[in-house]
Structure 1
Amino acid sequence: MFRRFPIIYSTRHSSTLLSTLDGLTNRTSGDKLLTYSEKFSKLYEKSAPETRKSIFLDLVANFSVNRDALNHAISLYSKNDQMYPEIRTAATATYVKLIQSIGNLPSGVGQVCEMRANVLALLKRETDRNSSASLRHIELALREVLTSWFCIGNLKLERLTWSSPGDILQKVAEYEAVHPVRGLTDFRKRLGPLRRCFYFSHEALPRNPLVMVHVALVEEIADSVQEITKRGEPTGREEDQTTAIYYSITSTQPGLSGIDLGNMLIKRVATQLQKDVPSVKVHSTLSPVPGFRPWLIRNLKGNSEYPSIVDSKVITWVSELAEKTVTAEEATEFLLRVVSNEKTEKGQLNAIRNILMYACAQYLYKAKRNGMAINSVANFHIRNGAELYRLNWNGDTSHRGINNSFGIMVNYRYNLDKVHENSAAYTERHEMAISDTVLELL
């Protein structure tokens, strides 16, 4: 008999959930499982957002792994090693089977996406260790199920053009988060000559772009997003362009965070462009550096996990600016005054350009947690097999770009012949592919 342990502070919800799923086990037949899924789906839909946490916690408490069944399966395996499927079945939590079955319902895949988005939001706010552990179990189950549903074979690559359905065009414009669309003219340009926009769709979420990328076809690796997004049509012939610049990648579904759709999209688009525009041989991003400014401020205040960037090289640079020899404390105080002021003029930033580029290179290449880059964008591209290729001063001179990273942008170059090798080196040995251009900054 499966043992149930209701959570004491959600008695009413636990009782409702137990009555809804009474009799459910991980060996329930497919038809019955679908009936349970329908009941749970309705319960979840009718529940208020603030009560859904209790539903997730009750699922873990009452429909997890049956320990007796698992111990029995282990006993059978110890006598006959051909019985390992029994262990796999017994070790699968009942709520995993339920989640898988929800995907067979109309709009069920969308509901599972919404459930994971809900759990991820709850995890960010949760302070109780036991509740966090239970929510992480649910999040892992949801992520594994969604990963299997949103594999490359189930995704359709689509190119957005001005002839695409109006509702799709509107969604792409509204979802764009990296470089917000500045009106109709700007949007038309992003879909016009020497430009591309691609997105992934999934038949279970019709008319919903899941992740999208904007691409500029240019003659060399770009160092300024303003040059790409400036007013006016780009000039030149498509067959003369040698480089694809991926300057904006946006995921639209919070519930699919971490499923790696962006990685798959970039590689699919690169393959497609090689067919459509054979002259394009180089593939590179022009990426922001979110978090660099607050990280640098924390570092200068001594609150960063990474050692202070104020070393002998930085002290020498500050001393040259001050026209006198300064101490480490004086250099730190000076830099804090400049970088902490959001109204700092560009001339002041230009004066410490060497220091900011030096600090940014350290932030991207050396500042790590568990061997991986702490900057999420860097970690994403390096993990996907890209090379940290170049840092660009005045890469994004918008208010947002200055506020995030003093205008610095980064090129992550994808050498399609080396992405698998680079990815393996990073994920397995924490070795980051980096160009000599960036190394020279260090």
Structure 2
Amino acid sequence: MLAEIRAAARRLGHDQALRRLSFDCRRLLSERGEASSPVIASGIIEQLASLAADPRSGALDRFFNHLAQDFSPDPDEVLALAQAYARQPQAAELIALGNAVEPPRQELFRRINRAPGGTAALIRLRLALIERLPSHPEWRAVESDLLHLLSSWFNPGFLEMRQVSWNSPAQLLEQLIHHEAVHEIDGWDDLRRRLQPDRRCFAFFHPQLPDEPLIFVEVALVPEIADAIAPLINKKSTPLGPDQFKTAIFYSISNCQPGLRGVSLGNFLIKRVAEYLKAELPQLKTFCTLSPIPGFMAWLTKTDDLRERPGVRPALGAKLEAARQRLLDITERDLSALGRATVQERLQEAEHEALLTLAAFYLARLAPLPGGDPVARFHLDNGARLERLNPRANLSAKGLKQAAGMMVNYLYDLSRIDHCHSRFVEGEVVCSRAVSGLL
């Protein structure tokens, strides 16, 4: 009985909190509210944090419903103004239509953003929304509005690139360890090695989040294009001297703000870092990545006879299917076994060649298509060239599971980035002769 009373009291409290939040949102959008908006917005930020602190209550979900239903454009007004613009397509009619089409919640988000901590609060709000979208597709318009605004506010023109060094604040260094998403940082010794003179780390920062990196990239300065990750992240390796800096290898890029997913940051960061390093170290001649192929094994294990794929000429289809059959034989018809170290040890040159052929097809032909490898799409759309495939490049459990130990180099030729990007947009991957030769 007592538990039921407490539950009812909690529900009543959440309902009251939601009504108060709705009232304050309306106040914030009112003409009177605009004059005192920082105070009202700060109260809304506190209320949102309180709702998010108790996710099981469902109060935040009801708030998202409120945003979707009650802060959307008026359909009748939009229709009337659209018809007016169709009859008389002049500037005044277009402006009126544009104002009517914009959801009121966008102005609500703008006013929340003006308050101290507003930007961070909206990023957290979008993350909570993203996490719930699979179960609530009706909220996609709300998420789209937040993405639209955040993309404007986090335009690279507003961002500051900083180099992170061992002398950076401890709080910032801790965030690198926490957010590293590609190659885990094994404690402070590992991080210190990654910040030695032949290793660099750069991050983007926003004025509203001055002490929080948005995204960071790690770079190794080495004599030649790397074909394996272990030497680059070996915390016991000896740092190289500047006379050996010939190639810059981008070996890890990590987002620190999941609420900014979909906001273009990484592509601009890589290009800006490349230009910065080229100016600092004129001896650098090559800029490329050593990247994972996270979708390869998932694709390979679900692929049937490759001779039947649309657009694959017979000779290539036969070569691909022969490669697949060779791997089926060595794995006893279980291609997922390629992700086990014991099976990798049995692979001979012919099996590695088969893997390279299939990976070349996966990246060169399928990357431009919907569902293509996400890392490949990122770099190729960013203007890189598919340069080289490397077997046994990452023998960690993650590297084996994702890509049977393979990694790939994407080359950033700063003079041909626009050309490679244009070709990718048109559905073609620019490849080196080494990769093209595999097909």
TM-score between both structures, scaled by the size of structure 1: 0.84
Query: For 1:180-199, what aligned pairs fall within 5 Å after superposition?
Result: 180-199=184-203
Partner of 2:4: none
TM-score between both structures, scaled by the size of structure 2: 0.85
Q: Is the 8 A contact 1:154 1:202 kept in 2?
A: yes
What SS does the corresponding residue of 2:334 show, helix, strand or coil?
helix
Query: For 1:7-406, what aligned pairs fall within 5 Å after superposition?
Result: 15=19, 18-22=22-26, 30-31=34-35, 37-47=41-51, 48-50=54-56, 51=58, 52-74=60-82, 76-77=84-85, 78-79=87-88, 81-83=90-92, 84-124=94-134, 126=135, 131-132=136-137, 134-300=138-304, 311-313=317-319, 316=322, 334-336=332-334, 339=337, 342=340, 344-350=342-348, 352-367=351-366, 371-372=369-370, 374-406=372-404
CA RMSD of aligned residues (A): 3.2
Q: Is the 8 A contact 1:26 1:90 kept in 2?
A: no
Q: For the structure 1 residues 167 and 344, does the alpha-carbon distance in structure 2 shift closer, same or farther, using more than 3 Å as the test?
A: same
Task: Give me the identity figure in percent.
Answer: 30
Partner of 1:325: none
What SS does the corresponding residue of 1:58 show, helix, strand or coil?
helix
- Alpha-carbon distance in structure 2 between the residues aligned to 1:278 and 1:254: 35
Structure 1 residue 397: Cα displacement: 1.8
Q: For the structure 1 residues 294 and 12, does the alpha-carbon distance in structure 2 shift closer, same or farther, using more than 3 Å as the test?
A: farther
- Alpha-carbon distance in structure 2 between the residues aligned to 1:316 and 1:148: 49
- Alpha-carbon distance in structure 1 between the residues aligned to 2:121 and 2:432: 43
Partner amino acid, structure 2, of 1:21: C
**Larger CA deviation: 306-315 vs 360-369:** 306-315
- Alpha-carbon distance in structure 2 between the residues aligned to 1:25 and 1:425: 46
Partner amino acid, structure 1, of 2:434: T
Partner of 2:416: 418
Structure 1 residue 306: Cα displacement: 8.7
> What are the Cα deviations for residues 151-183 of structure 1, in whole angstroms up to 9, with x where unaligned?
112211111111111111111122112111123
What SS does the corresponding residue of 2:431 show, helix, strand or coil?
coil
Higher helix share: 2
> What are the Cα deviations for residues 107-159 of structure 1, in whole angstroms up to 9, with x where unaligned?
110011111111111123x1xxxx40x32111111111111111112211111
Q: Is the 8 A contact 2:193 2:199 kept in 1?
A: yes
- Alpha-carbon distance in structure 2 between the residues aligned to 1:332 and 1:232: 36
Partner amino acid, structure 2, of 1:313: K
Partner of 2:9: none
Q: For the structure 1 residues 290 and 26, does the alpha-carbon distance in structure 2 shift closer, same or farther, using more than 3 Å as the test?
A: farther
- Alpha-carbon distance in structure 1 between the residues aligned to 2:67 and 2:346: 56
- Alpha-carbon distance in structure 1 between the residues aligned to 2:67 and 2:24: 11
What SS does the corresponding residue of 2:387 show, helix, strand or coil?
strand
- Alpha-carbon distance in structure 2 between the residues aligned to 1:162 and 1:30: 45
Gaps of 5+ in 2: 1-13
- Alpha-carbon distance in structure 2 between the residues aligned to 1:27 and 1:423: 46
Gaps of 5+ in 1: 1-9, 323-329
What is the aligned length? Answer: 416
Structure 1 residue 292: Cα displacement: 1.7
Q: For the structure 1 residues 343 and 240, does the alpha-carbon distance in structure 2 shift closer, same or farther, using more than 3 Å as the test?
A: closer
- Alpha-carbon distance in structure 2 between the residues aligned to 1:74 and 1:318: 56
What SS does the corresponding residue of 1:216 show, helix, strand or coil?
strand
Q: Is the 8 A contact 2:305 2:321 kept in 1?
A: no
Q: For the structure 1 residues 220 and 75, does the alpha-carbon distance in structure 2 shift closer, same or farther, using more than 3 Å as the test?
A: same
- Alpha-carbon distance in structure 2 between the residues aligned to 1:259 and 1:397: 32
What SS does the corresponding residue of 2:389 show, helix, strand or coil?
strand
Partner amino acid, structure 2, of 1:241: F
Q: Is the 8 A contact 2:291 2:410 kept in 1?
A: yes
What SS does the corresponding residue of 1:349 show, helix, strand or coil?
coil
- Alpha-carbon distance in structure 2 between the residues aligned to 1:109 and 1:64: 22
What SS does the corresponding residue of 2:149 show, helix, strand or coil?
helix
Q: 1:439 aligns with which of 420, 436, 439?
A: 436
